Amino acid sequence: MRLFNTLTATLAALGGAIAAAAMNTPAKPPAVPLAVRSPYLNAWLEGGGTNCVLPGQWPRFWTGQILGWQGLIRVDGKTYSWMGGAGGFDHAKQISLHYTSTKSEFVFDIDGKVHLTVTFLSPVYPDDLARQSQQFSYISLEVGCSDTQERNVQVYMDVSGEWASGNDSHVIKWEQGVAGGNNGDVTYLKFNREDQQEFEEQHEIASWGNWYFSTNSDGGMTWEIGQDSVVRDQFKNRAGLGNNLDTDFRAVNDRWPVFAFSHNLTVQKWKSVEKVFTLGIVQDHVINFAGHTQALTPIPGLWSSYWTDERDAVTAFYNDYQYATRASEALDKRIQSDSERAAGQDYATITTLALRQAFGGLQFAGTPSKPYIFLKEISSNSDIQTVDVIFPAYPILHYLNATLSRFLLDPLFENQESGAYPNKYAEHDLGTFPVAKGYPDGKDEPMPLEECGNMIIMTLAYAQRTGDTQYLRDHYPKLEQWAEFLVEDSLVPASQLSTDDFAGTLANQTNLAIKGIIGLKAMGEIAKLTKREDKWSKTAYDYLQTWKTYAINRDANPPHTTLSYGDNNSHGSPPCPSSDQQNHADSPTGILYNLYADKLLGLNFIDQEIYDMQSNFYPAIALEYAVPLDTRHTWTKSDWEMFAAAVASNSTRDMFIQKLAHWIGNSSTNRPMTDLFDARTGGFPEGGPTFVARPVVGGMFALLALRH
């Protein structure tokens, strides 16, 4: 027992008065992160029409697939649902939703008698590989009295087999067990696909590994594994569960087996009772990777170096709750105050929603002496280690712990330095998650200039931030090879894709060219840092002067860079005009977000005049929710908005941020935060791809990465 959080108590007391509209702070997000720690533990409450209300709908995997997850509370003989879509229960009245960087906290008022605070905690440990390597999340239920009466209250939670299989007709197995812990025993309910298929997925859900749902085994705890409706009715009718295990192993959708816990609590005035649950997956091997040896090699989950077995890992995570709470509160505070200081509460509204999503795209693998981080390009096409997805996500790593970026770059260097990739430009990705086999045939999605620039820029950023210049020496031959490609291609870029590949190929892309030119300047720095001859800076400088004559439309009002070279002659219509676009630009143009690397690397290479010109220009083309990415559509990318904001004048920076915060609270999208939306409507791009839950939201930290 501990003293009840006064804010929560006050909110509950006010509950009656504000019942009509649940309070969402700092905003109503498009979707609420519930358990988001890795590509496979990635569960959300979709927002939209239901206004982020927890009971009455099922939580969903990032794909939108339902994840059975039901919460009940029983007060004075009456049972209410506080989470999940099971029928037959009244819904607990949701008073508020609050999110921080690591937590989503829902407060409910139960009939004016008790209040329930449900906290979904997905910690992020940027400085602690052991703790970050676990694919588990916490759920805390805290119950307090709203009146003076002491009461017995029972709480309940179950999960279904849907977590463990992307195909509901697959058979799952299960067991119950008890493991010792330092705060008393932990009871776990384990379930897994009978037919384990390592490194395979169905509908993005892993076809291998074991799921564990756990809680404290103290006196008032009961558990049950059985058919969903039977188990829930048992709780409703008997105020507890029977500690029974249905031994009829069967398909996920065959009389839906659920894994359930109940706690019997005594609540008193001003004292709350808290019960903690954990949920997650354990996998021995997590990635199949072709590194130095060119042969596909199973890479262990990093967790397995720190704990002797699964049970050990499960109980260690469970018993770490106090530490997790303290560490998460510290990180929440740090991100909140750094964001406020950088650009106010609107900016904090953005960054605090992005942290769990960004880390939810990462899989920690390998061993403590050779750790790897593999990234899943969630929702766009599940590529693994996509360079132009790591690049937009990079600022969060630079801000929190730049060493982590090395663990993401290493697999790319290893694969290419093994000689397994034939092209002279940098590889786009390593395959499809979780198999990083590379492209010995050289047939990856080609983004030559983009990825050469990205690799050089990120490698230098890492070395500058950590002081690890040896890393530059170790990889100098590859970096030099990519720089030579930039010499050939960056000033007059061939027709090619940029990272914004939904927009198609284009020659002479102004923004792509400046990335390549900054990349060359960065290579000059790398040469200097490693005491080699700088063959690059002079070329970069010359290219920049020529780029300025190609790329700027000085006759426009206000002047700005163009989308591609020579667009200053085309005073006519842009290639794909949108009839109702309030675009004051008189020629095709776009956000010059690649300027960001100049500031990130502290190069002071690009003329201040260019920054000032763009800062002056963006407000003239801004729409309701953002500045459009370019004149081909009214679409935009929130990661690039924040890159542009980070290097803009204060007033233009604040415009970008205010619009994006406004989008978060008002967007009609109801999926895990998209980075691609229509700047005019705030919805998904009509006729465009639906991006959700992508780790690129690490780019929301673009301002914070510059503040050191």
Ligand X SMILES: *[C@@H]1O[C@H](CO)[C@@H](O)[C@H](O)[C@H]1NC(C)=O
Contact with ligand X (CB under 6 A): which of 200, 555, 607, 686? 555
Structure tokens at 112: 């004016």
Decide whether 328 or 416 has the Cβ nearer to ligand X.
328
Decide whether 225 or 645 has the Cβ nearer to ligand X.
645
Considering the rule CB under 6 A, would residue 322 count as an interface residue with ligand X? no
Considering the rule CB under 6 A, would residue 403 count as an interface residue with ligand X? yes
Q: How many CB atoms lie within 10 A of CB 504?
A: 12
DSSP line for 366-431: EETTEEEEEEB-TTTT-BBS-HHHHHHHHHHHHHH-THHHHHHHHHHHHHHHTT----SSPPS--S
Measured from each CB, the residue nearest to ligand X is 665
Decide whether 203 or 538 has the Cβ nearer to ligand X.
203
Spatial distance between the Cα atoms of 633 and 596, rounded to a whole number of angstroms: 23
Considering the rule CB under 6 A, would residue 573 count as an interface residue with ligand X? no
Considering the rule CB under 6 A, would residue 266 count as an interface residue with ligand X? yes
Q: Between the CA of residue 652 and those of 347, 424, 622, 656, 695, what are the distances in Å?
A: 13, 39, 10, 6, 25
Considering the rule CB under 6 A, would residue 269 count as an interface residue with ligand X? no
List Cβ neighbours of 542 (8 Å cut-off, separation of 6 or more).
none
Considering the rule CB under 6 A, would residue 566 count as an interface residue with ligand X? yes
Q: Of 303-311, 418-426, 562-570, 682-690, which part binds ligand X (CB under 6 A)?
A: 562-570
Site string for ligand X, 59-98 (x = CB under 6 A): ----------------------------------------
Considering the rule CB under 6 A, would residue 127 count as an interface residue with ligand X? yes
Considering the rule CB under 6 A, would residue 218 count as an interface residue with ligand X? no
Q: Between the CA of residue 583 and those of 415, 496, 627, what are the distances in Å?
A: 44, 26, 10
| 390 contacts 454 by C-beta, under 8 angstroms | yes
Q: Of 375-383, 550-558, 586-594, 634-642, which part binds ligand X (CB under 6 A)?
A: 550-558
- Strands 31-36, 42-46: pairing is antiparallel
Considering the rule CB under 6 A, would residue 3 count as an interface residue with ligand X? no
Cα angle for residues 192, 228, 217 (degrees, 5° grid): 65
Give me the least distance between CB of 654 and ligand X, in Å please: 8
Spatial distance between the Cα atoms of 429 and 166, rounded to a whole number of angstroms: 25
Give me the least distance between CB of 195 and ligand X, in Å please: 8
What residues between 645 and 704 interact with ligand X by CB under 6 A? 650, 662, 665-666
What residues between 466 and 525 interact with ligand X by CB under 6 A? 492, 507-508
Decide whether 74 or 311 has the Cβ nearer to ligand X.
74
Contact with ligand X (CB under 6 A): which of 510, 568, 581, 615? 568
Nearest C-alpha neighbor of 626 from the set 567, 675, 562, 698 = 675
Contact with ligand X (CB under 6 A): which of 39, 209, 240, 524? 240
Considering the rule CB under 6 A, would residue 294 count as an interface residue with ligand X? no
Considering the rule CB under 6 A, would residue 532 count as an interface residue with ligand X? no
For 25, phi then psi, to 5°, come to: -130, 145
Contact with ligand X (CB under 6 A): which of 6, 148, 308, 549? 549
Encode burial over 586-611: b for 16+ CB neighbours within 10 A, e otherwise: bbbbbbbbbbbbbbbbebebbeeebb
List Cβ neighbours of 615 (8 Å cut-off, separation of 6 or more).
648, 649, 651, 652
Give me the least distance between CB of 345 and ligand X, in Å please: 11
| 100 contacts 336 by C-beta, under 8 angstroms | yes
**Sites of contact with ligand X (CB under 6 A):** 27-28, 127, 129, 152, 167, 169-170, 202, 220, 239-240, 264, 266, 343, 401, 403, 492, 507-508, 549-550, 554-555, 565-566, 568-569, 650, 662, 665-666
